[in-house]
Structure 1
Amino acid sequence: MKKRRHHYVWRNYLRSWSDNEQIWCARNKKVFPTNLMNIGQERDFYRLNELTKQEISFLTLLINQHTSEAIQKLNHGWVELFTAVFKIREQVNNHGLSDDEFEAEVEKQIINLGEDFHCGIEEGAIKFLDGLLDSGTNFLADEDNAIEFIHYLCVQYFRTKKMKESAASSVSQLGLIDMDKAWNILSHTFSTALAWSIYAERSQWSSVILENHTPSPFLTSDQPIINTYAAFDKQVKDHDELEFYYPLSPEKALLLTKKAEYKGMSSKSLNELEASAYNDIMIDMSHEQIYSFQKEQLEMYAQKI
């Protein structure tokens, strides 16, 4: 079966803000309740596209810029994975063996593969969400889970519509590649490279649970993981200008940071001013939608979108 609704925000993640699968959403300055199935998704968002030889050559050149041969190999694997179905179809057609059943299966794989892959990552990440929410587990210090945890965060950061459109805007004038066609591959190569960078420097990073028991609960959005350094149109230029903020529920959020003030800290209780500041950053970094479990809270913020 073809899966046409492709979610770029994980539904299971959003359940912390929902009641019986219903969540409050603000979009285009309007506040409304909706089912989790209807938000953070777009028809065929992860549909694969056949790339030209020139586009594949550009991806190869880009991947080979990384200093680690291991990361180069992993990222070439993404190219192979997401172009394989087109190579198989070409070979079958060249031998005159194609039929309607084969073409239907190819089309199903073109539509489903990207979405199915994200579903697999999400299933593996349930333990991370549960651990962070229940006990604030420091997966960064857990050798058995650290790389998978960091990779999950980076995938959630890059997989969204906002990141796709931002990347497309930045390269559109160069004419080197059609970002809409290549994003399925590029988002994974970016995620892999960034995850490796964080993992290699993990001793410098702190994983901090932010506790919010104020009258201003945490919001989330269709860009649920954000780099706080990039808020309010700030241009990020330095390697160390990265700090992940990831709200986990109305009462808890994850801060992944290199800032010295958080070294050795596992949790921090916020005051209302601090909680509101994080909400302001989340709204600024959202794309089209923000989410809350409170209608009144969204009505207060809706005009800022």
Structure 2
Amino acid sequence: MSTLTKNQHYVWRAYLDEWADKNSNIYCFMQDKVKLFPVKSANIAAERFFYQLAELNDAEIEWVNLLIDRASNEQLRDFHRETLNTFQLVYRLRNRIQNASELSKEGFEMMSKELDIAEKMHGERWHGFIENMAQVSLEELKKCSADFYNDKVEGNHFIHFISQQFFRTPKLRAMQIRKYHPMWHRGLDLDKTWFIESQIFAMNMCVGILISKDLYKFKFLHNANKVPFLTSDQPVISLGADNEGMRLYYPLKPNLAGLFEKDTNAALKSEKNIGVMELEFYNNKIYQQSYNQLYCNSADYLKEIISIPKNVIDKW
């Protein structure tokens, strides 16, 4: 019998555990409640049934197909259409069993229960699968190794993971939920379409990087300062695309962070020891691009960071 995971993480717990202290606590600042507190990784960066699917109406299907049609090639568009069909399958099955006269009452109730679970768990299981596939690359990155990237399978797993982690968060969901939309009057609910949208955007990003995979390089930033790297509920952030391509920043643990960027002249891996000013630059960027939660292994340092209003940080 299938089981439910009600508290669904939008940031990987195995990643967050790097910010735990000796008592397995992570210090979290909840921005909407202006509250700083110690907490276990199981209870942060999560929301009740965060990945629950929704049955899309005609306007919502039309909107998703409009996004699909923007993809760069037909193969990618076909992939997106299959993704849409996959995550709407539970509703087609539900409609089918409702009209299946040959089903017994017990059979109908059993299948209905399993479809309810699938509706709540399909997205959660999908992201769990992606995380499992990225375990090797994340562990290697924490050792300042990029050798995994030369392996086609492991390198592709990493690119898929980093793209999904960028788009799977509540910050990106909130950016998609706009008050006014040309199709709003027709019943379009962007909250319902968000999960499918996140898959489309993540795969577009993934394919964009894969096309130039050999040109993307890793730069490891070592932090020997007294203050740590921060992370947040938006742990992968963009430092802005230049003429070369995407520039992604990803803190890996309190004393190590990584840049993943297109650099035609660099080696696959480079390393750099950073000073306090550069550390503060990256931490301010994490604060600026966070949604609601900041995480750190030091309560004192987190208090210093949050003493500056976020809207001031935004202007830096």
* TM-score of the pair, normalised by structure 1: 0.90
Deviation of the 1:178 alpha carbon: 1.8
Residue 65 (structure 1) aligned with residue 73 (structure 2): no
Provide the C-alpha distance between the structure 1 equivalents of 2:238 and 2:148, rounded to a whole number of angstroms.
19
Residue 272 (structure 1) aligned with residue 276 (structure 2): yes
Match of 2:100 among 75, 80, 95: 95
2:313 alignment counterpart:
none
Deviation of the 1:203 alpha carbon: 3.2
The amino acid that maps onto 2:71 is: H
Deviation per residue, 1:226-249 (Å, 9 max, x gap): 0012xxxxxx7x775631100000
Deviation of the 1:138 alpha carbon: 4.5
Contact 2:216 2:264 in 1 (8 A): no
Provide the C-alpha distance between the structure 1 equivalents of 2:215 and 2:112, rounded to a whole number of angstroms.
50
Contact 1:146 1:199 in 2 (8 A): no
Deviation per residue, 1:284-305 (Å, 9 max, x gap): 0001010000111111112334
2:123 alignment counterpart:
114
The amino acid that maps onto 1:24 is: Y
* TM-score of the pair, normalised by structure 2: 0.87
**1:124–1:260 Cα change, 3 Å:** closer
Q: What is the 5 A alignment of 1:146-185?
A: 146-169=155-178, 172-175=180-183, 177-185=188-196
Deviation of the 1:150 alpha carbon: 0.6
Deviation per residue, 1:170-194 (Å, 9 max, x gap): x743335422111111111111111
Contact 1:51 1:182 in 2 (8 A): yes
Match of 1:255 among 259, 274, 280: 259
Q: What is the 5 A alignment of 1:1-305?
A: 1-19=3-21, 20-28=23-31, 29-96=34-101, 97=103, 99-169=108-178, 172-175=180-183, 177-229=188-240, 242-258=246-262, 266-303=270-307, 304-305=309-310
Provide the C-alpha distance between the structure 2 equivalents of 1:261 and 1:240, rounded to a whole number of angstroms.
11
Aligned length: 297
Contact 2:156 2:210 in 1 (8 A): yes
When structure 1 is superposed on structure 2, of 181-190 and 250-259 the one drifting more is 250-259
Deviation of the 1:265 alpha carbon: 5.1
Contact 1:31 1:302 in 2 (8 A): no
When structure 1 is superposed on structure 2, of 82-91 and 260-269 the one drifting more is 260-269
Contact 2:224 2:255 in 1 (8 A): yes
Deviation per residue, 1:83-118 (Å, 9 max, x gap): 000001111112243732222111111111111111
Provide the C-alpha distance between the structure 2 equivalents of 1:140 and 1:243, rounded to a whole number of angstroms.
17
Unaligned stretches of 5+ residues in structure 1:
230-235
Contact 1:224 1:247 in 2 (8 A): yes
Identity, % of aligned pairs? 31
Provide the C-alpha distance between the structure 2 equivalents of 1:239 and 1:103, rounded to a whole number of angstroms.
51
When structure 1 is superposed on structure 2, of 155-164 and 128-137 the one drifting more is 128-137
Deviation per residue, 1:135-168 (Å, 9 max, x gap): 4224444333222111100000000000000111
Contact 2:145 2:269 in 1 (8 A): no
Provide the C-alpha distance between the structure 2 equivalents of 1:172 and 1:138, rounded to a whole number of angstroms.
46
Provide the C-alpha distance between the structure 1 equivalents of 2:300 and 2:287, rounded to a whole number of angstroms.
16
Unaligned stretches of 5+ residues in structure 2:
311-316
Q: Match of 2:253, SS?
A: coil
Provide the C-alpha distance between the structure 1 equivalents of 2:168 and 2:182, rounded to a whole number of angstroms.
22
1:233 alignment counterpart:
none
The amino acid that maps onto 1:101 is: M
Q: Match of 2:174, SS?
A: helix
Provide the C-alpha distance between the structure 1 equivalents of 2:65 and 2:181, rounded to a whole number of angstroms.
20
Deviation of the 1:259 alpha carbon: 5.3
Q: Match of 1:78, SS?
A: helix
Higher relative contact order (CA 8 A, sep 6+): 1
